[in-house]
Amino acid sequence: MNIQTFKEKTYTLEILYHIGVLEDSIHFIFDHSTKTCAIVDPAWNAPLFIQRIHDKGYTLTDIWLTHWHFDHTNAVDEIVEATGAKITVGVNEIHYLKINNLPDTVENNDTIFIGNTTAKIINTPGHSAGGICYLLDRHIIAGDTLFVYGAGHCSLPGGNIKELFNSMQKLKYIDNDVMLHCGHDYGSKINTTMGEQKQGNAFLLLDNEDDFVNYVNSMQQGKIPYPTGPLTQAEIKDML
């Protein structure tokens, strides 16, 4: 298990990498002023997360979900039962979500709070029907919507390649210096910025919807290697 920490003015973002059988990345947002914590997409090891937050002197009050998939939600009910934490999820994900506890829902451009720390909601369907990203001041937590030089597949219920294309168009407007944090460490590196991804991630470089659909289908069929490193427009064109 690798750990990274980013200390900002109002909060600390901590990431645990390679958790569980699918090697998820688990994100913690520790609000400095209120000593409260939000955990993003908790899966596989609820006792570890609860103990870690407790040992730091914080109280877990919130669970933020990027999407419904089992490998991002299977610790939710256990955490809620132990802490009473409030769950937040995108409104269009409710139909697919398989947990026992009723969540609050958010929509595009909503702002949510943990203490004095704010996160803007960006609807990013495609990998799932109602996936969302959480944009903090210098960080975006993207779940499986966007990976380092890649993106999540669209093959599970609710997935839709054309919706993923539209979601990528939204993400192109994120400031270049914002750091990208993903649901899995599948790429060629861990630390990256949105600017770096705009320059080399095929999912962000493809501006034509038909080419995008072709690329994703070819990737899912194994005709295009995945994951990749940074690509140029010419290299992507050759792949297509």
Which residue segments constitute the domains of the chain, with CATH numbers given?
A: 2-239 (3.60.15.10)
Q: Which tokens is 99 given?
A: 């947990």
Torsion-angle region of residue 149: left (phi > 0), alpha (psi -120 to 50) or beta? left
So what's the pLDDT on residue 98? 93
So what's the pLDDT on residue 222? 85
φ/ψ of residue 48, rounded to 5: -60, -45
Torsion-angle region of residue 214: left (phi > 0), alpha (psi -120 to 50) or beta? alpha
CA distance 44 to 42: 7
Half-sphere CA count of 75, side-chain side, radius 13 A: 23
Q: Which tokens is 216 given?
A: 């994703």
Provide the β-strand partners of residue 113. Answer: 118
Contact partners, residue 169, CB within 8 Å, separation at least 6? none
Instruction: Give pLDDT < 50 ranges for the chain.
Output: none
So what's the pLDDT on residue 224? 83
